[in-house]
Amino acid sequence: MSTAFGSTRSNIGLHVGLMAMCLVIVLPPLWVLRTSLVPEPQAYSTSVMPGFTLDNYIALLTRNKFGVFYLNSVVVALGSVVVALPFAAMTGYAFARFRTGGRFARFLVLATQMLPPVALVLPTFAIFRATGLTNSVPGLILAYAAINLPFLTWILMGFFEGVPIDLEWAAMTDGATAWGAFWRIVVPVSLPGLAAAGVLGFILSWNEFLFALVLTGPSTQTIPVALASLQSSNGVQIAKVSAGVVLAVLPLVIASRFIQRFIVQGLTFGSVK
């Protein structure tokens, strides 16, 4: 009995500790959610819920054109993934299976990721201005695709290295070309990896601020730029900013749910033992 009692006591202690840790992590986002639902004048109040309103969201979506910026962000993030993913898949597969460029080429691909973004944004701006791509959604899609490409290539390279080469060999002796083995066997088998890479690329593009700030204009802003613009010289409209943050985080919460599912899902099970 004493053992059972002791274990119950230690369980309670463990759970209290875990709850305290959870509060440390969850409290800030919860406070942001609470602030987004409180009228602006009471936003800094210390009481938990001094009032309730949806005005902050309505104002954001109507007066501040957040709907447009939201759409821009969705189009840019999705577009950049759609453009980058096929190239990343082919490059990652080439690195994983062939001696393409050796190790040097693998690291060369990552070179752009090693530079601070600010070192890249100005040359990019110069190129975009010369080609008329500034202040345009397709321009930003291209820029983000270029930023995502090395990152997605590396993720997919790791994934393809985990696909048993026997599958491709089987396809090639069955009559497929190397491309056919990639397209008909490797791509379907790697769908969870491709989906995970796609979601990660989406998150990367969705959160990007610097390139969006420099390359977009008033009508092509994305959510991070629009959020920043809520901080005016007259001060920060904290309730509106909070509502904007909640809106901005929403797709990421959904995306992270997907990424978990895809990464955990092992489609290759059963193909080889």
Partner 1 sequence: MASIELRHVSKRYAPTVYGVRDVSLRIEDGEFIIFLGPSGCGKSTTLRMIAGLESVSDGEILIGGQAVNAIPPRDRNVAVVFQSYALYPHMSVAQNMAFGLKMRGTDPGLIRSKVDQAATLLGLTPYLDRKPAALSGGQRQRVALGRAIVRDPAAFLLDEPLSNLDAQLRGEMRLELVKLHRRLGRTIVHVTHDQVEAMTMGDRICIMRGGAMIQVGRPLEVYANPAETFVARFLATPPMNLMPAVLRGAGGDDLVVETGEGLALAVPSPYRSAYAAYRDKPVILGLRPEDFYEAPHASDWQPVPFTVVAVEALGAELVLVGQVGATGGVAPQKIAPPQEIAVRLSRHVVAEPGQMLTLSLDPNPMHLFDVETTRLIPRPAPGVPARRVA
Residue 227: CB minimum distance to partner 1, A: 41
Distance CA 243, CA 29 (A): 11
Contact 206, 230 (CB under 8 A): no
Helix/strand/coil (H, E, C) string of 195-239? Answer: HHHHHHHHHHHHHCCHHHHHHCCCCCCCHHHHHHHCEECCEECHH
Residue with tokens 């202040």: 135
Distance CA 21, CA 176 (A): 54
Among 8-16, 32-40, 126-134, 165-173, the segment contacting partner 1 (CB under 8 A) = 165-173
Which residues lie closer than 8 Å to 228 by C-beta, 6 or more apart? 209, 213
Residue 155: CB minimum distance to partner 1, A: 21
Residue 165: CB minimum distance to partner 1, A: 9
Residue 195: CB minimum distance to partner 1, A: 14
**Please, which residue, 180 or 251, has the CB nearer to partner 1?**
180
**Please, which residue, 188 or 217, has the CB nearer to partner 1?**
188
Distance CA 75, CA 30 (A): 28
Question: What are the residues facing 235 on neighbouring strands?
Answer: 232
Selected from 13, 164, 217, 218, the binder of partner 1 by CB under 8 A is 164
Q: Is 269 helix (H, G, I), strand (E, B) or coil?
A: strand
Residue 266: CB minimum distance to partner 1, A: 9
**Please, which residue, 59 or 167, has the CB nearer to partner 1?**
167
Q: Is 47 in the site for partner 1 (CB under 8 A)?
A: no
Q: Is 268 in the site for partner 1 (CB under 8 A)?
A: yes
**Please, which residue, 28 or 164, has the CB nearer to partner 1?**
164
Which residues lie closer than 8 Å to 229 by C-beta, 6 or more apart? 221
Residue 180: CB minimum distance to partner 1, A: 7
**Please, which residue, 145 or 171, has the CB nearer to partner 1?**
171
Contact 244, 172 (CB under 8 A): no
Selected from 68, 167, 210, 228, the binder of partner 1 by CB under 8 A is 167
Selected from 10, 45, 219, 271, the binder of partner 1 by CB under 8 A is 271
Contact 206, 249 (CB under 8 A): no
**Please, which residue, 26 or 272, has the CB nearer to partner 1?**
272
Site residues (CB under 8 A) for partner 1, limited to 168-207: 169-177, 180, 185, 188-189, 191
CA atoms 213, 216, 219, 224: torsion sign: negative
Which residues are near partner 1 by CB under 8 A? 164, 166-167, 169-177, 180, 185, 188-189, 191, 267-273
